[in-house]
Structure formats: C-alpha cells, structure tokens
Structure 1
Amino acid sequence: MNGELASSGSAQLWERALKAMPGGVSHDGRFLPPHPTYFARAKGARKWDVEGREYIDYAVGSGAMMLGHSHPDVVKAVQAQMELGTFFATVHPLEIEWAELVQELIPSAERVRFTASGTESTLLAIRTARAYTGKPKLLRFEGHFHGWHDGVLLGMKAPFDEWPSLGIPDELRSTAAVAPQDANRVEEMLKADPAIGTIICEVSGANWGSVPISDDFLRDLRKLADRYGCVLIFDEVITGFRWSPGGKQKLLGITPDMTTMAKIVAGGMPGGAVGGKAEIMRLLDPNVEYKRYKPAVAHKGTYNASPIVSAAAVAALKVIRTGEPQRQADSVAKQLRAGMQQMIDELGVDALVYGESSTFTVYFAKGARRGSLASISPAAIRGSLNRDSLDIYTNGLRRRGVDNMSFTGGMTSLAHRDEDVPPTLEAFEGAVQDLLDAGRIVCT
C-alpha cells in the first residue's frame, strides 16, 4: 500500500475523497456516516482497515468471494498470467477453458458469452432475448436487483411504479412491466400484454434473498414462460455457484432459457457471463446473419474475458465444482442463523432471522417473530429499519470487529470456520443492544 495512504486514517482519507469523487465514493452504497471505513487488505475470512483493526468479513466482496479473500489457487493463477501478459485485446486459450467450465456447471449454458460485470450481463441477456422473441417488453419483479442500467431500474425499489433515479427517459416505461412475486398476477399480465417477451427473476428472491422466493414460484415461471412464448432469464449473479456448483437452477432442477452471472463466475474479479440455449445465443455469433444483421445482437466490450480475469475464474471454478466451498459456507451460515435467532429470542426483540444456502438476514419489524417468510415484502424489508437505524447497526458490528453486507444480512465463504461463529454472535448481540438503547427496535 502507498506509504502516504497507509499512514492516513479513514477520517483523513475521507476528507481527500470528498475533494476527488462525488460524495467521496464510487458506489452509492459505500457511504457510512460519519465516514466510511477504509480497508487496506484482506485474507481468507478476514479484512483489516487502514488503522489495522481486524474484521470477520460477511460482505465477502458483495458476494463475490466464495473462496474467501486471496485464495492461494486464484492468487497463483493471476500472478502467473501477469508474467505472461495482462491484456491482449484478442482471443486467448483461457477464455475457452473458462467457458467450458461454465458449460459444465450451469445447466442452461449451452453457449457462453463473457461481459465485464453483472450489470452488463443482464443488459446483454435482455437485449438478446428481445431479439429472439421480437417482443420489446420485459417483465421483472418488485424489488429484484439486476444492475443499474436504464432497462432494469423501474421496479428496483419502492414505490415500484416510479423511477429510482433521475436521468432516465420516461419513454422507457413502456419497455418494462413490474409484477409482484405472484404467479397468478404474472399470468394475468402475460395474457393482457402480448408485447411481453422476456421474464427476468433474481432466483434468490429480491436483494439476494432478503425477500424470500418460493421454489414453486420459480417452477410456475418456467411453465408460464413456455405457455406464453417468453424467454426466461434467471439472474444468478448471486446464487450462481453459491447455492450449488451449478447455481440454484441445478439445485432445483429448473432450467431457464438464459442465465446471467458475475461475481463468483469471475473468481471474485471484475467479470460476468451470459449463458443460454444455443439457438438464442447464436444471435451473438458474428458469422450468422439474421434479418440483415450480422451479428443479430451487437455486443462489444474491451475487457470481456480479459486474461487476468479468465485466469482467476478458471482457478476458482475448479475449486467451486468440488462442492466443498458450498458445504463449508452453508454450514457456518446455518450456525449463524440459529445463534442469531436464539439471541433475538432471549433478548425478546421482535425480529426474525432467515436465509438460504450461505446467507443470513435479520428482519426487524413489528410482528416479525410471529410472522412467516411469506409475509416479507420488498417494501417491508426496506422499511424495517430506516437509514439511521441501519447505520447504528452496521457501525455497531464494525466497532466489534464484524463487517456485514447490506441491509441487515451477510454471506459466508469457504474461508469461514466454526470458530468465527461465537465472536460474530457476540458482536451481533452488541449491535442489537445499540438499537435497543437508541429506541430503534422494540421487544415483544
């Protein structure tokens, strides 16, 4: 680390950041008052801030670090590729090996095209699906997150019929329909609007599972997509390679027409992928002419499948396919969920702890302990703790050596161990007590 930066604390770095970047950050969600914590290094399930404080990390690179930070196989692969060349701006052998691994693991990936991020993956998948069906409209679900491009912002957060950002032409409203996670309502919308040709769904449920989704609903989507001639896209940017080596689709035996991927698929590096049926993906083939277009769907991107990212991805997926990362991460997350719920019950706090696979979420709301997962909605999860309360909770965890992901949840990795559970639960109890002391949550 640069010596000048290493000798600066987070407060000093924040003052510099404010003069260099809008709001001092490069991502909307990275600000935390009074100022963000600046991190200097990470290894395994731990990371350290610029002041040298150690944290158990449940943000895990926004879900990207399934193997933990700096897994030796990934580090070795990236170092070796750096010696051979960082970027060629042409094809190279590693991208083929990477694509073959994705094909091997993801059932829907008959063909694979690489991108530079999850946002780019959903953008490309939706464009390709529209080209295939000839229908312009996308059906997406309330609160589901598919990146930050214009085509997927309507419905991203409540109120779901309003744009969550300036700068988007209102004319784009006609290209998207927003539905609740309700199969009957979806069918009504498909019957009423023949312009809908694409359905996209975050298969964990909204915001990586903070709003649960039923397996039966995903099965219904497959049936409805077939019945109404729609392309079904499973957004597995989070679930892909985490719920199982083949993603949630492999776990459930439900194969979509297309799958969007990022994060783990790229070994925790900046990269993404779209996998899909060969007949759909052929529209990206530069040798195929379709309706006078060649290729039918335009897709470029300087850093698609760059050698450095490809090297990390290949190394990571070879470990991922063993299933051991999922088994270990799931085991620790299960212990955390049970321990957190027990602590909530002992404190008498009105909250519910839940999650699938290697995730955990804490839902603070009136009636939560007596409620069911089916009662949790996108609007409810965002409204359960206001921004100030979330800051109290997050800062409470960090003061006690734990870093969370977003809202009130986190994820585990291969690097997390049973011995991480007790100190995490101790930090959790302290953060909950902070909320109680501030009068932000109630006891039943």
Structure 2
Amino acid sequence: MTHDSNATLAARARAVMPGGVSHDLRFRAPHPIYFARAKGAEKWDVEGKRYIDFKLGAASQILGHAHPEVAEAVSRQMFEMPYTGDCHPLEIEWAEWLCRLFPSAERVRFTGSGTESTMLALRLGRAQSGRDKVLRIDGHFHGWHDLLLKGSKPGANTPPSLGIPQAIADLTVVAPPDVEAIAGILAEDPRIGTVFVEVSGANYGSVPLPDGFLPAIRALTEDMGHVLVFDEVITGLRWSPGGRQARDGVVPDLTTLAKIVTGGLPGGAVVGKAEIMELLSPANQRDGLAPPVSHKGTFNAAPMVAAGAVKAMEILSTGEVQAHADEMAARLRDGFNKVFARHGIGALAYGDSSTCHLYFGGTSIEGLDAATIRRTPPVLVKGLRDALLDRGVDFMSFTSCVTGLPHTPDLIDEAVAIFDDAIAALIRDGVLQ
C-alpha cells in the first residue's frame, strides 16, 4: 500500500495522465481523493480517512465492496482459469441466468463494457431495421462513444466533445421525452430505424420519465416498425431482478446491460429477441456475410467476470437485496428532506428504487427537465460536494447517490447527520440561502 498523500499522488498522476485522471468525472480541484481499501458501504483513502460510500462503484456494487461470496468465486476462478480466449461453461450459466431474469432476453451476447453494449445494440438495430439513423432522448446517457453521445448533454443538439465527425452526429436525432413529439419525428424521418431510452429517465432517474412513457413508446415503435432498445445498464438488477422491464411489464426488442449484471466487474451484455440477436450467429449468413452482424472483443464473458457475475445472479435473483436497498434509499431521502425543512431550504430529495437525487430549485419536480438540473449554481455544486467529502460522505455526483445491501439504518442516519452539518455550513458561508 502506498504511503503517499492525496496531494503527492495527484502530482505524480498529472505527470503521466491527462489531467491526472482516467475518467472525466474523477477530476477534482485541487486534487482527487485516492482510495486504498473498501469494504461493504465504507472505504478508506490513502491517508486513512473513512468515507460512507453512496457511489458504490458508479452504481455497480449493489452487494457492496468485496462481497465475500463474489470475491471468493472470482479468486477461485483466478487460480483455475483466469483467461484463455475460449468458450467456457460459466458463460453459458451466466447467459441462462439473464434469460431467466430479463423478459426481453431470448438470446445473450456479452461485451466488454456498458458503452460497448450500446454500440452493439445500435449496430443490431441498424441491421434489423435497415435504417441508419437513431432517435435518443434528450439528456439520457448511453456511454461515451461517438454514435450516441450527441444529446447526452441536455438541451444541446451537438455532441459534448471534440473529435466526433458531423456525419456521425447527423445520424442521431435528439427528442424530448414526449411520445407525441417522438411519433411526429418518426413519421417525418423514414431513415430512423432504432430508438434508445434510458428507462429510469435521464441519468438514472434524476429526470424521471413521464408516467406511462415506457408502454407508450413500446406501442409506438411496434406500430411504426422501429427497433426499441432499453438501456438498463444501471436499472438492470437494481430496479428488480429483471430490471425495470420486469418490474413494469414492458418488453423492448433489445436491452443493454452492465454494472450489477456483471457482478460489479468489468463487462456488459446485450440481450434481446432471438430474431435480432441471431444476426450475430456465425452459423447464419445474410447477403454473403457470416455472421451478418460482426462483433468481437477479447474479454467478452471473461471467466473471472463470469464467475463473479454468476454468484451475484444467485444472490440477487430473490429480490431481497433490492428490497433492502430501496428501503435504505427511502430512509435517506426522508432524512435529507427533514434536513431541508429544518433549515428552511427550498430543495427536495427524490428518486425511484434505490436512488436518491437532490433538486435545489424547489420542493416539487413537476415538469423538471435535465437542463434545469444542470443550471444548479457551480458554487453550490462544488460547495456541497466538498463539504460532504470533507466530512466523510461520498456521493455518485453532486446531486445523486445510490444505496445497496451493506447500507444499514445506522450508516444512513450517520450520513443524514453529516448532510445536516454540511447544509448548515453552506448556509453559514452564504453558499446556500
């Protein structure tokens, strides 16, 4: 274990990595915090400071850090066969679990990440529909690749990155989460063949979808002949053992998965209708191509990942973990709202399933859109983030966090007390009024 301080490690990192980080959202001024150990819902930085973790590995660790059964399964597989690049029994068992749990899963193809899953799902949607353009919802997130990045920054009809060709961006159509508006767009543009939806609403539910949106978009795409893709990278195995689609009874054509579905390890999957998924089969041929849709990836269904994922499927399939996580999130939201009321702050903690989001623009999210969330003053964004980290609480972002199996009522109540102290400090310093 390193004995360097956070500041010393940051200086070393800046000398070898752009900005000193390996992910945009890990950047923090004056420097990031470097973590050395994590267990359950707690983690410790290199200086020995403890944090209550509501990030949980970017929502991937619903079972908590270093869950003993998952860790044991991965460790055992490391000694038996870590990776050979071959087929292996565990990938079949893992795929069978997904087919049992997710209503849309008639066939499964594993990928290297959630981003790769959305890339593959779009390729399949284009192949099935025979049309190049894709419609996605404003503010929803489907990974960092060129093909769906446009529209991820709410209210902007351009990609939030340099390096994306205009010809690629032109193939993506951004629409509001309004079924009537989407119907009009689809009717006017016959080149659109695929529709993507983050089923929680933008950014795992910080902007919830309108009531009835999912069944309505399912009916619309069926009527008009479009391939419907549900992005359940975060909701899969969090909203229920079969994701939001199982909880709400709405079945898409394809579903993209990662995070919890991989046991919190690197990887992802696309599941969906056999008719579409069989386009990936090397045993099939179309237009002289076998397989018609090409997909590769060195670490797809890597044995160590599959071992951890299968053990996670066993634990999560009962729904008991999700029920506990939901209960802890409700306790957290209730505690935060009591803090706001006690301090006379016009803000709201809200969320579905095991999530908690914060809105500082009033006490109702009626009519809330993703662009409004983004307009939170930067001084408040940084102030609350820093105040919580200084006191030992880590959120997934300034406005959002998740809960999991290892969160206990005592940890939740401790976090609420810390939040109360942080809010009081922001009021005292004039950051929050």
* Letter matched to residue 165 of structure 2: P
Which residue of structure 2 lines up, in the alignment, with residue 257 of structure 1? 253
Aligned pair 1:203/2:162, yes or no?
Answer: no
CA distance in 2, matches of 1:147, 1:434: 36
CA distance in 2, matches of 1:78, 1:215: 41
1:327 alignment partner, one of 298, 315, 323:
323
Which residue of structure 2 lines up, in the alignment, with residue 427 of structure 1? 418
Which residue of structure 1 lines up, in the alignment, with residue 401 of structure 2? 410
Q: CA offsets, 1:247-269, max 9 Å, x none?
A: 00000000000000000010000
- Farther off after superposition, 173-182 or 10-19: 173-182
CA distance in 2, matches of 1:129, 1:421: 42
CA distance in 1, matches of 2:404, 2:210: 24
CA distance in 2, matches of 1:405, 1:149: 21
Aligned pair 1:99/2:90, yes or no?
Answer: no
CA distance in 1, matches of 2:44, 2:412: 18
- 1:395 Cα offset (Å): 1.4
* Letter matched to residue 58 of structure 2: S
Aligned pair 1:225/2:221, yes or no?
Answer: yes
Which residue of structure 2 lines up, in the alignment, with residue 20 of structure 1? 16
- 1:215 Cα offset (Å): 4.1
CA distance in 1, matches of 2:388, 2:348: 18
CA distance in 1, matches of 2:173, 2:366: 22
Which residue of structure 2 lines up, in the alignment, with residue 37 of structure 1? 33
- 1:32, 1:391 within 8 Å by CA — same for their partners in 2? no
Map 1:104-119; keep pairs closer than 5 Å: 104-119=100-115
Query: CA RMSD of the aligned region, Å?
Result: 1.0
- Farther off after superposition, 206-215 or 37-46: 206-215
CA distance in 2, matches of 1:437, 1:133: 58
Aligned length: 433
- 1:24 Cα offset (Å): 0.1
- 1:236, 1:259 within 8 Å by CA — same for their partners in 2? yes
Which residue of structure 1 lines up, in the alignment, with residue 122 of structure 2? 126
Relative to the length of structure 2, the TM-score reads 0.98
CA distance in 2, matches of 1:173, 1:398: 37
CA distance in 2, matches of 1:101, 1:161: 39
- 1:208 Cα offset (Å): 0.8
CA distance in 2, matches of 1:160, 1:191: 23
CA distance in 2, matches of 1:306, 1:421: 35
CA distance in 2, matches of 1:73, 1:303: 22
- 1:26 Cα offset (Å): 0.2
Which residue of structure 1 lines up, in the alignment, with residue 332 of structure 2? 336
- 1:407 Cα offset (Å): 3.0
- 2:201, 2:209 within 8 Å by CA — same for their partners in 1? yes
Q: Counterpart of 1:375 in 2: which secondary structure?
A: coil
CA distance in 1, matches of 2:318, 2:346: 39
- 1:429 Cα offset (Å): 1.3
- 2:383, 2:431 within 8 Å by CA — same for their partners in 1? no
Which residue of structure 2 lines up, in the alignment, with residue 60 of structure 1? 56
CA distance in 1, matches of 2:377, 2:319: 35
- 2:138, 2:155 within 8 Å by CA — same for their partners in 1? no
CA distance in 2, matches of 1:168, 1:290: 31
Q: Counterpart of 1:147 in 2: which secondary structure?
A: coil
- 1:212, 1:374 within 8 Å by CA — same for their partners in 2? no
Map 1:3-402; keep pairs closer than 5 Å: 6-365=2-361, 368-369=362-363, 371=364, 373-386=365-378, 388-402=379-393
- 1:151, 1:172 within 8 Å by CA — same for their partners in 2? yes
Q: CA offsets, 1:127-161, max 9 Å, x none?
A: 00100010111000111000000011110103421
Runs of 5+ in structure 1 lacking a partner? none
Q: Counterpart of 1:47 in 2: which secondary structure?
A: strand
Q: Counterpart of 1:61 in 2: which secondary structure?
A: helix
Q: Counterpart of 2:122 in 1: which secondary structure?
A: helix
- Farther off after superposition, 107-116 or 165-174: 165-174
* Letter matched to residue 124 of structure 1: L
Runs of 5+ in structure 2 lacking a partner? none
CA distance in 1, matches of 2:207, 2:425: 25
